[in-house]
Amino acid sequence: MSLFLTFLYVFLCNSVSLSSSLSLHFPLTSLRLTTTTNSSSSSLQTSLASRRNPSQSSSSSSPPYNFRSNFKYSMALILSLPIGTPAQTQELVLDTGSQLSWIQCHRKKQKPTTSFDPSLSSSFSNLPCSHPFCKPRIPDFTLPTTCDSNRLCHYSYFYADGTYAEGNLVKEKFTFSKTQTTPPLILGCAAESTDDRGILGMNLGRLSFISQAKISKFSYCIPTRSDRPGFTPTGSFYIGENPISRGFKYVSLLTFPQSQRMPNLDPLAYTVPLQGIRIGQKRLDIPASAFRPDAGGSGQTMVDSGSEFTHLVDVAYDKVRGEIVKRVGPRMKKGYVYGETADMCFDGNKPMEIGRLIGDLVFEFGRGVEILVERQRLLINVGGGVHCVGIGRSSMLGAASNIIGNVHQQNLWVEFDVINKRVGFIKADCSRSLP
């Protein structure tokens, strides 16, 4: 089952109450959310979801945070967070591509094991329709808002694969300890959903977790995925200052003013200046315009922890695919498409051999900043004896953006420095313990 797919339609009535500084330390786990059975019926996670909602990022100076945790990784990063008073542990997908966080609040008897029970929390409250922001087309969410029959603010998320979550907007605290508790933050409380986990929205919108909690910096290190049965590799996660921050190579985020609104642009994403792609020693002849937003916003390149595969706009994808066909075309699986977007796939149990024939894959950002995907981990096991290059075609998602998915963030520390508007990278062995 896929949690993230293409368009997320949000019907919200809500408000934003920015809160004071927060110190966090919590466990993070990662599990694969998608099971692949065959070609186009397979689901590929990508969190293009809540990106259609323009907002103005709000961040303010705050004390340095030095809190860390381990996480287990297969494909989707799953946080276990204590929410409410007293705290109830909730599982949330860490998603740098989403704004609104939401938790499971199922009231049915057959509810998910991680469901939050509002009646047990003294700090829980609903947002009423009388709230000042509970009106049509508020700045953060451009789609119509609704009130439910109880005059409470209501939201509905509909994903392209048919999954959904809907419920009321609420306020609730993240209670980490007696001395580390956030003020009430705006969350979605899903009374109905087709998934058993929520989302922790970490993008630049003013309703995101980092904006409401005034978190200025966070980072993670995703280890390489293991196909060994029963083994799940462990990586690292920080909120606040990372001990190795001085070693990062940074790229400045591309920012977009309120006046510069384009139909295909997500102004709340972590947009980076991708300049080119290399395969082996060959720099592909991809026009620079493929990686920068045009007049309509198409061509934006974003770093996204919630997307599994990387996705490229057509002109870039065609160049990458063409080069791979030249090198290993006869060995490609004919007529096979994984997740309805990725068709560079191979049968058999020799992915490293095919990787050697293709060569290393490099995403270039300029000033010596690169993401290197080494040839021995170029192909991803998608099940059924099939391995695919971890790149899909964005247009098949109905998107016009380039997305650097988490599969191509492995063995890197990736730091999101919100205050300084930059993203940092440094190569690492992410299977090692935290520094």
DSSP three-state, residue 355: helix
List beta partners, residue 28: 79
| Residue tagged active-site, from 95, 140, 266, 343 | 95
Half-sphere exposure of 161 (CA within 13 A, CB side): 25
DSSP three-state, residue 195: coil
How many whole angstroms from its chain centre is CA 26? 18
| Residue tagged active-site, from 140, 161, 266, 304 | 304
Q: How many other CB atoms sit within 10 Å of the CB of residue 277?
A: 23
Asked about 95 being catalytic, the answer comes back as: yes
Full strand arrangement of the beta sheet holding 276-279? 282-283, 276-279, 361-366, 369-373
Q: How many other CB atoms sit within 10 Å of the CB of residue 420?
A: 12
DSSP three-state, residue 196: coil
Dist. CA 160–CA 47, nearest whole Å = 11
Structural contact between residues 203 and 403, judged by C-beta atoms closer than 8 angstroms: no
Asked about 360 being catalytic, the answer comes back as: no
List beta partners, residue 166: 156, 192
Burial class of residue 170 (count of CB atoms within 10 Å of its CB; 0-12, 13-18, 19+): buried
Dist. CA 61–CA 13, nearest whole Å = 29
**Residue type for position 320:** V
Q: What is the DSSP string of 73-138?
A: -SSEEEEEEEETTTTEEEEEEEETT--S-EEE---SSS--TT---GGG-TT-EEPBTTSTT-SSSB
| Total residue length of the chain | 435
Structural contact between residues 279 and 361, judged by C-beta atoms closer than 8 angstroms: yes
409 CB-near residues (< 8 Å, 6+ apart): 222, 303, 305, 371
Catalytic sites, residue numbers: 95, 304
